[in-house]
Amino acid sequence: MNEQSSWIWDTPNAHFSRHLPDEPIGYFSPNALRSKVSAFQAGFDGLLSYAVKANPDPDVLRCLTQNGVSIFDVASPAEIEMVRAIHPEAKLHYHNPVRSAQEIAQAKLHGIASWSVDALSELDKLGDLPKGSEIAVRIKLPVAGGLYNFGEKFGAEPAQAVPLLKAVAMRGLAPAITFHPGTQCTAPSAWESYIKAAAQIAKAAEVRLLSLNVGGGFPADRAAQPVDLLGIFNRIKAAKERYFCDQNPVLVCEPGRGLVADAFALVLRVKNIRPDGALVLNDGIYGALAEWRDMPPAHSRHIAVFNSKGDERLGKPAPRIIFGPTCDSLDRLCEPLALPSDIKEEDFVSIQGTGAYSAVLTSRFNGYGCSKQIYCRALTSAPRHL
Ligand SMILES: Cc1ncc(COP(=O)(O)O)c(C=O)c1O
């Protein structure tokens, strides 16, 4: 637990209306994280692995571990060490399919339960592995659903995946298939298409899969409609039963965003209202809103504005251009935000669902960037404007 997190506040509002912080603050609710973990554990018909890249904060890793998460998807030796420091016995899935020889050697020292590959050259590069080590062949399909295309960088086409899977089995390793439908994927049909293709690939390779890893991609609550995680879990289960018939690979999911995003709120402050009505906030795309360069902002139902006393501004929402605090004119959100028309300088802007790919992508450009994390029991209290 870091220095700032030794205090637990009821809500972000209780904290910021008392301390009037001038710097951006990430508010973390372990209760919210616990309930997300429970939703995955109760609803997903398989194993839960956490994609560390989304938020490798030690307090997050500790909270996950304390709530029964014992499998971690790691992308690098540095992430392996972060996990090992918190959970020495954790199962590690090294599912970044491209690694250097040095990275492989380092990872082997820590014991890797599952490696993903999307090319024969990467399988060869792994060298000798303990018999029965799991190798998950990463596949890609032209399937829409996520906010951007994860297949651009990684994944084997089905025709290449078949010989790769055969090669895994012939080397005495345990074959698995993995995929990622794209982050913030709200279309259950994307998982269904992948599961169908995975079954066809396994059949063509004449291989029985040890496991089927359905990736991350599970959406956080950032859109106009609430997310239906259970609906996605049920479609995944039904698709596995339908397409794998008598085979019964263990299902694994490895969410990042879907698990941690909704356990955090980011609270920013209005530094200035420009003469044309644009707002300058104390954080932006070089900080905790880095992702908002590549995806639309959260829907306004996840954003609220408060005055310094902690009272919510309820003016009619109006679109505002948003700049971050740096001297760089690119430091601007790609879309305007609808914010209450009575917003004032020094008000606080609270954005729910900012626990994934935010703190970890924050730079210190121009000396800015959110580095403070405060613990809260809950993330909201006041009624929200719609
Ligand atoms: C292999 C792998 N698994 C899981 C994830 C987590 O994805 P998400 O945060 O969309 O759940 C990622 C994200 O890049 C990934 O590359």
Pocket mutation for ligand 1, best pick of 60, 137, 183 (most atoms within 8 Å of C-beta): 183
Residue 81 to residue 79: CA distance in whole angstroms:
5
Which tokens sit at 40?
A: 């995955």
User: Looking up tokens 């707002």, which residue turns up?
Assistant: 279
Measured CA to CA, the distance from residue 223 to residue 232 in angstroms comes to 16
Is residue 303 classed as helix, strand or coil in its secondary structure?
A: strand
Atom of ligand 1 nearest to the CA of 97: 1
Which residues is 139 bridged to in the sheet?
156
Q: Ligand 1 mean position to 218 CA, how many Å?
A: 9
Coil, strand or helix at 367: helix
Contacts with 376 (C-beta within 8 Å, 6 or more apart), sequence order? 8, 9, 10, 11, 12, 14, 15, 27, 28, 29, 265
370 vs 134, more confident: 134
Which tokens is 205 given? Answer: 């390779």
Residues 6+ apart with CB under 8 A from 50: 61, 64, 69, 71, 72, 73, 254, 255, 256, 259, 260
Residue nearest to atom 1 of ligand 1 (CA): 95
Supply the residue whose CA is at minimum distance from atom 5 of ligand 1: 216
For residues 331-337, average pLDDT? 95
Output the pLDDT for position 131.
Answer: 83
Give per-residue pLDDT as tens, 183-233.
999 999 999 999 999 999 999 999 999 999 999 999 999 999 999 999 999
Residue 339 pLDDT: 97
CA of 273 to the centre of ligand 1 (A): 37
**Of the residues 37, 40, 47, 73, which should be mutated to test ligand 1's pocket, given the most ligand atoms within 8 Å of the CB?**
73
Instruction: Find tokens 């932006």 and name the residue.
Output: 284
| DSSP SS3 for 361 | helix
Closest CA to 326 of 354, 294, 295, 290: 290
Whether 368 and 1 have beta carbons less than 8 Å apart is answered as no
- Region 165-169: mean pLDDT is 97
Residue 381 has pLDDT above 80, yes or no: no
CA of 156 relative to ligand 1 center, distance in Å: 17
Q: Which of 116, 293, 297, 131 is nearest to 213 (CA)?
A: 116
- Kindly state the DSSP code that residue 229 receives in the 8-state scheme: H
Q: Write down the pLDDT at residue 2.
A: 44
> What's the pLDDT at 143?
84
Residues with CB under 6 A from ligand 1: 51, 53-54, 73, 95, 180, 183, 215-218, 254-258, 356
Decide if pLDDT at 1 tops 90.
no
Beta strands in the chain (DSSP E): 8-9, 25-28, 47-51, 71-74, 91-94, 114-117, 134-138, 174-178, 211-213, 250-253, 264-273, 279-281, 303-306, 317-320, 322-323, 337-340, 348-352, 372-376
Q: Ligand 1: distance of its center to the CA of 52 in Å?
A: 9
CA distance 1 to 375: 10
C-alpha of residue 179 to centroid of ligand 1, in Å:
9
For ligand 1, what atom is nearest to the CA of residue 138? 1
Which atom of ligand 1 sits closest to the CA of residue 258?
11
The helix/strand/coil state of 170 is helix
Reported as a single tens digit per residue, the pLDDT across 122-136 is 999 999 999 889 999
CB 352 within 8 A of CB 376: no
pLDDT tens-digit map of 224-277: 999 999 999 999 999 999 999 888 999 999 999 999 999 999 999 999 999 999
Is the predicted pLDDT of residue 353 greater than 90, yes or no?
yes
Q: Which domains does the chain have, with CATH numbers?
A: 3-28+260-376 (2.40.37.10), 56-255 (3.20.20.10)
Contact yes or no for 250/89 (Cβ under 8 A): no
Cα–Cα separations (whole angstroms), residue 180 to 177, 213, 255, 265, 374:
11, 9, 10, 26, 32
The C-alpha angle 339, 342, 345, rounded to 5 degrees, equals 90
Percent of the chain residues topping a pLDDT of 90 = 90
Closest residue to atom 12 of ligand 1, CA basis = 216
Q: What angle do CA 102, 104, 110 make, to 5 degrees?
A: 115
Å from CA of 149 to ligand 1 middle: 12
Give the ligand 1 atom nearest the CA of 217. 10
Cα(182) to ligand 1 centroid in Å equals: 8
Ligand 1 atom, smallest distance to 254 CA: 4
**Quick one: pLDDT at residue 150?**
66
Q: Which 3 state secondary structure label does DSSP give 119?
A: coil
What's the confidence (pLDDT) of residue 3? 41
Q: For residue 165, which phi and psi values (nearest 5 degrees)?
A: -65, -40
Alpha-carbon distance of 5 to 376, in angstroms, equals 9
